[in-house]
């Protein structure tokens, strides 16, 4: 098994995770259908930002 394949198998599926989060949110909150694409994009972007390496800081 190659390293890239191992990483792919153990990496979370951010699209699926974003979909699950949005589905839970809209199940309990009123969201216009026209806003769903923006909400999905925002959640997906936020998940990606959480997984990004923090900026290097010199003290």
Segment 1-58, tens digit of pLDDT: 454 555 455 557 899 999 999 999 999 999 999 999 999 999 999 998 888 777 666 6
How confident is the model at residue 49, as a pLDDT?
A: 87
Question: What Cα–Cα distance (Å) separates residue 38 from each residue in 2, 7, 9, 47?
Answer: 36, 29, 28, 14
pTM above 0.85, yes or no: no
How confident is the model at residue 50, as a pLDDT?
A: 85
Cβ atoms 47, 11 nearer than 8 A: no
How confident is the model at residue 29, as a pLDDT?
A: 97
Question: What Cα–Cα distance (Å) separates residue 25 from each residue in 4, 16, 46, 55?
Answer: 33, 14, 15, 30
Give the C-alpha separation, 52 to 1, whole Å.
25
Q: How many Cβ atoms from other residues are within 10 Å of residue 49's Cβ? A: 8
């Amino acid at each position: 098994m190659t390293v890239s394949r191992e990483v792919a198998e153990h990496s979370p599926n951010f699209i699926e995770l974003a979909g699950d989060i949005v589905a839970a949110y809209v199940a309990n909150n009123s969201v216009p259908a026209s806003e769903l694409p923006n909400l999905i994009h925002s959640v997906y972007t936020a998940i990606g930002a959480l997984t990004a390496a923090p900026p290097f800081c010199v003290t």
